[in-house]
Structure 1
């Protein structure tokens, strides 16, 4: 063999030093006019221009999904009305059926019904309206600057109207058993006030965690909040009815014309929710710094 004969070179294996990270990109990809035909240029997540692929060097590239399009306020309010209607209808109906059947549904059944309704509505409408379903939740989010104050009246208006509509629908279906759906104290007013404050605190503490803290498992928000509602009703149901929501009491009270101690259910849940939201904000971990966020971002490196 002639020593001057050129020995064909073996292409380097992708991934080895000096070789391209992605196989199939080499100097033969140049067109006759000298421009590079890189498939990477067609990828939207690659934003750097004029990369040198032949030498195997790729700069750091980050990919991120575009933010979802904004939801019109009318759709948010509409979803809030429908979600609150479903919740109020289910929660109140469970109590009415329990009265109509002489307690066959039991406290556990009423608590499970309400918890399931909350979970279902959050999973169905949470991505549209946030699924507040409760004026105390809306006010707490607004107080912590997680929700604009200018939208608070429309959200609360939708919640109140949904509660009244659900209550009168139940009155027409289950009359004359509507009184069973009204939450009234079975003990002292002070005891009921304290319980409503505590269970609203529990609820809003959990809601604030799963809705505002990115380190919480937000995908399980519906399950977490629904389980908290069920737990609260099991705790406070025999004494205060386990309302934790002003519109849970207001709508049935109007339909049944029973306003006994209604101030307890309008004030205690709001104060408890504000306290729960503020407490979680005070104890949650500090936000990650920029370096930690940069390390957590999705990137492709050589």
Structure 2
């Protein structure tokens, strides 16, 4: 499959992210909880940090459908590129899902993020909303404000992902990303309450990005928008 360099990097980055972020819950299910909740969260955070630092200079490293929509809504990304980015993100996620299915046969649940039976639909929706809000607030800071130290962007975003999964992992899986759930759902054939993982992260992302736009301070005599960094997730 051929993509232009930026889309190719987005595809590969999404594949790597989904593969490694999903491995821990699959291993836990197959081998009886050998990975602690914090280690599970740390794996996802390290995957994000690694991809940002290695591919961010090529394309910005979105790897997240809700991030792409939020950045586009606030003019940090052109609308014309959205269909291509969303397409490669979905394809990368699905490919990762089937790769995991081959590696960890039998697949069982396949690491699909679904709400825990102990919480309501409303609780799951709000949980995914608030963690994605937090995630996009952090990403928008490091991606659009040049006063933030660029070398620490990957670490800041990875830390936000780790924190969010520590908090939400036991109840919703801590998706924050529609394609994080979609690829595994397709591979496992499990679409239970998939809509939550599309609606909540998208709304949370738009609100998180919008909140930083409201609260950020401009430099004195600077009325022009800040250029977007090239390493956003």
TM-score (norm 1): 0.71
Q: What stretches of structure 2 of length at least 5 have no aligned partner?
A: 223-233
Is 1:247 equivalent to 2:179 in the alignment? yes
Correspondence for 1:26: none
Higher helix content, 1 or 2: 2
Correspondence for 2:50: 120
What is the root-mean-square deviation in Å for CA atoms of aligned residues? 1.1
Is 1:146 equivalent to 2:76 in the alignment? yes
Displacement of 1:177 in angstroms is 3.1
TM-score (norm 2): 0.91
Q: Distance in 2 between matches of 1:288 and 1:126?
A: 30
Aligned length: 218
Q: Distance in 2 between matches of 1:87 and 1:174?
A: 17
Asked if the contact 1:192–1:240 (Cα under 8 Å) also holds between the matched residues in 2, the reply is yes
Correspondence for 1:74: 4
Displacement of 1:282 in angstroms is 0.4
Q: For 1:109-258, what aligned pairs fall within 5 Å after superposition?
A: 109-186=39-116, 187-258=119-190
Asked if the contact 1:111–1:230 (Cα under 8 Å) also holds between the matched residues in 2, the reply is yes
Correspondence for 2:198: 266
- Which deviates more from structure 2 when the two are superposed, residues 224-233 or residues 96-105? 96-105
> SS of the counterpart of 1:128?
helix
Asked if the contact 1:134–1:247 (Cα under 8 Å) also holds between the matched residues in 2, the reply is yes
Displacement of 1:221 in angstroms is 0.7
- Larger Cα-atom Rg: 1
Displacement of 1:178 in angstroms is 4.1
Displacement of 1:94 in angstroms is 1.4
RCO higher in 1 or 2 (8 Å CA, sep ≥ 6)? 2
Residue by residue over 1:195-214, the C-alpha shift from the partner in whole angstroms, topping out at 9 and shown as x without a partner, is 00000000000000000001
Moved over 3 A (4+): none
Q: Distance in 2 between matches of 1:88 and 1:194?
A: 23
Asked if the contact 1:99–1:177 (Cα under 8 Å) also holds between the matched residues in 2, the reply is no
Q: What stretches of structure 1 of length at least 5 have no aligned partner?
A: 1-72, 291-302
Q: Distance in 2 between matches of 1:287 and 1:158?
A: 37
